[in-house]
Copies of this chain bind each other. A is one copy, B any other.
C-alpha cells in the first residue's frame, strides 16, 4: 500500500475510524440491552428503530439478526424480534451455566494475570465497594462487569470468553430491572461482596480458591434474587 508515493502526499494521516452503519447500530442496541434500557417483552421492529436512528431498515435488520443469533432476542412466529422475558426457570438455567463457565475461567486466569492486571482488578474492586455503599446501581453494575471480565479476559481463552459474553448478554438486561425492585437498597447485595477476597486469592496464585469464591458470588447472588426478585 505504502510501497510508492507518486505525487504529493500532503498532510499527516488522520486514521479515520470508519465502520459500517449496521455495526454502529449493533453496538448501540447491545449497549442498550446490557445497560437494561429495554424492558422485557418489548417488541423491536426494524422500521421503527430505523426511523428512531435515522437510517434505513437494513442496518437495523442486520443488528437484530445478530442479536437473535446470540439468543439475546427471541423471534416471534411472524419474525418480529422480542426481548425475552426472564422467568424463574430461565434465570435458574442461566445461573447454572454461569456456574460452569465462570469459575473455570477464573481458575485459568490466575496463571495469566500479571502485576498490572492484578492492580487494575484491585482498583475496580475498591470502586465496586464504594459504589455499593453509595447505592449507585449504575456504577455498581458497570464495575461488577469490569471486574468479572477483567478476570475472564485474562484467562486467555477466546472461546470461553465468548461463551461467557453470550451468557451475560442474556442476563445483563435484567440485573438493573431486579435492582430497581429494591428501592435502590443494595444492602442485601453488599453483604455478599467477595471481590476483595477474590483479588487476594488471585494475588496468592490460588486459582482454586478464587474460583470457589466466585462461584459463591454467583450462587448467593442467584439465591438472593430468586428469593427477593419479581419474575415474569
Q: Which residues of A contact B (CB under 8 A)?
A: 20, 61-62, 65-71, 79, 90, 93-94, 96-97, 100-101, 104, 157-160, 162-163, 166-167, 170
Q: Which residues of B contact A162 (CB under 8 A)?
A: 71, 166
Provide the residues of chain B in CB contact with A71, threshold 8 Å.
Answer: 159, 162
Interface residue from B61, B100, B159, B170 paired with A160 (Cβ < 8 Å): B100
Contact of A93 among B69, B94, B159 (CB under 8 A): B159
Which residue of chain B has the shortest Cβ distance to A98 in the bound complex? B159
Q: Which residue in chain B gives the minimum CB-CB distance to A26?
A: B69
Name the residue of chain B whose CB is nearest to the CB of A89.
Answer: B158
Check A96/B160 contact, CB under 8 A, given A62-B61, A66-B65.
yes
Cross-interface CB contact of A94 among B65, B94, B159, B166, cutoff 8 Å:
B159
Tell me the nearest residue of chain B to A62, going by C-beta: B65
- Chain B neighbourhood of A67, CB < 8 A: 69
Q: For residue A99, which residue of chain B has the nearest CB?
A: B104
Tell me whether A93 and B20 are in contact (CB under 8 A): no
